[in-house]
């Protein structure tokens, strides 16, 4: 059988194997056990260069790594940072490193070390290999058929909902939300912040298409003062979300925000859901409405 060459091709191949094992032995399909797959699949398909070590490692600054055996035996090891305690982060990191093994181990033969930030890059303009490893891990751990079934007909979209999916698939919360943003028809955005400042964000295609986007800048971007993520808006259960008036996250739209504080420790993960139909474009407004922009601290979120 010819081997796949793309991240999604590889993920589908392994998903089929997992599904067959699940059906013949009645073992739960989820969460996907990356460690067993890495050890057993690599041994049977690549007997000369199997993965023989899947383990935690006391990395200083890396989240994970794919490392060839230093003795030149052809064996490989995939590792996660042993200071990580979240099972979802560990499993997603192992999936990411297995993706590097299947897709990239022959490119240089050198070890591949991955930073925490590399686990969030879905846009290949930031780094093709990291985006490919993330896409592989995402499709392996959260196959689209099951993920669509879980998210179909969702009326209120909150981080609390994705926190349940995080447990179902044993992935990180950000990975589950990014997966949904990849194909949803809703206008939505994830915003990850730390100490009151935005670290990174990612938008669904319909939101970008309606002219709302994040303009990357060198300078730091503070959270809107009245946002849930900033901790000042009142909500009994911030993970269940509240509707925030226009002028907070978006200039001329109410935005539904829900937030979870934690996961990557000091970080807040916000999910913003915008109304299905965008309002009229800013340039359609009379000029007197355009001149004064109260969003001097947050003009990165702009409307075309
Ligand atoms: Zn990587």
What are the pLDDT digits (tens) for 72-127?
A: 899 999 999 999 988 999 999 999 999 999 999 999 889 999 998 888 777 665 68
Asked: is 158-302 a CATH 1.10.10 domain? The reply is: no
Q: What is the pLDDT of residue 217?
A: 53
**pTM of the predicted structure, to 2 decimals:** 0.86
Residue 83: burial class (beta carbons within 10 Å; 0-12, 13-18, 19+): exposed
Q: What is the pLDDT of residue 296?
A: 30
Closest CA to 229 of 197, 265, 270, 267: 270
Of 123, 273, 261, the residue nearest 189 (C-alpha): 273
Nearest to 138 by CA among 183, 187, 205: 183
Rounded (5°) CA angle 40-174-117: 80
How far, in Å, from the CA of 209 to the mean position of ligand 1?
29
Residues of the chain with pLDDT under 70: 123-126, 214-219, 232-234, 263-265, 280-304
Ligand 1: distance of its center to the CA of 113 in Å? 6
Ligand 1 centroid from CA 231, angstroms: 32
pLDDT of residue 21: 84
CA 36–ligand 1 middle distance (angstroms): 20
Confirm if 96 and 134 have CB atoms less than 8 A apart. Answer: yes
Pairing of strands 112-114, 76-81: unpaired
**3-class SS at 78?**
strand
pLDDT at 108: 86
Round to whole Å and give the CA distance between 230 and 251. 18
**Are 70 and 86 contacting, i.e. CB atoms less than 8 angstroms apart?**
no
Query: Ligand 1 centre from 156 Cα, in Å?
Result: 33
What is the per-residue pLDDT for 79? 98
pLDDT confidence of residue 125:
59
4 CA from centroid of ligand 1 (Å): 19
Q: How far is CA 49 from CA 43, 68, 73, 98, 151, in A?
A: 8, 9, 8, 13, 38
CATH number for the segment(s) 7-141:
1.10.10
Give me the half-sphere count of Cα atoms (radius 13 Å) on the Cβ side of residue 289. 9
Which residues, 6 or more positions from 100, have their beta carbon under 8 angstroms from its beta carbon?
66, 78, 112, 114, 129, 133
Distance 96 CA to ligand 1 centre (A): 6
Nearest by Cα to 163 from 175, 153, 152, 154: 175
Q: What is the pLDDT of residue 211?
A: 84
Predicted local confidence at residue 301, as pLDDT? 42
Burial-class residue 238 by CB neighbours within 10 Å (0-12, 13-18, 19+).
buried
Ranges of each domain in the chain: 7-141, 158-302
181 CA distance to ligand 1 centroid (A)? 21
Cβ contacts of 14 within 8 Å, gap of 6 or more:
37, 41, 140
């Amino acid at each position: 059988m010819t081997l796949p060459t793309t991240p999604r091709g590889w993920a589908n191949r392994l998903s089929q194997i997992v599904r067959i094992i699940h059906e013949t032995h009645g073992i739960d399909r989820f969460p996907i056990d990356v460690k067993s797959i890495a050890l057993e699949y690599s041994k049977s398909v690549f007997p000369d260069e199997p993965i023989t070590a899947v383990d935690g490692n006391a990395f200083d600054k890396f989240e994970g790594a794919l490392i060839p055996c230093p003795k030149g035996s052809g064996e490989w090891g995939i590792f996660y940072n042993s200071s990580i305690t979240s099972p979802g982060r560990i499993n997603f990191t192992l999936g990411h490193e297995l993706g590097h093994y299947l897709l990239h181990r022959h490119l240089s033969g050198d070890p591949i070390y991955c930073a925490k930030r590399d686990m969030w890059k879905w846009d290949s303009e930031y780094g093709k290999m990291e985006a490919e490893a993330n896409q592989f891990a995402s499709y392996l751990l959260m196959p689209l058929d099951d993920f669509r079934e879980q998210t179909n007909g969702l009326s209120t979209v909150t981080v609390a909902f994705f926190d349940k999916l995080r447990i179902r698939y044993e992935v990180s919360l950000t990975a589950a939300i990014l997966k949904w943003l990849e194909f949803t028809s809703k206008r939505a955005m994830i915003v990850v912040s730390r100490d009151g400042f935005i670290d990174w964000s990612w938008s669904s295609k319909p939101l970008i298409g309606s002219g709302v986007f994040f303009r990357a800048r060198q300078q730091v971007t503070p959270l809107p003062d009245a946002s849930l993520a900033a901790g000042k808006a009142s909500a009994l259960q911030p993970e269940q979300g509240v509707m925030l008036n226009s002028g907070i996250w978006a200039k001329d739209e109410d935005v539904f925000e829900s937030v979870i504080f934690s996961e990557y420790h000091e970080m807040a993960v916000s999910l913003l859901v915008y109304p299905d139909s965008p309002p009229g474009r800013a340039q359609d407004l009379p000029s007197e409405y355009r001149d004064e922009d109260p969003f001097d601290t947050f003009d990165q979120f702009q409307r075309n």
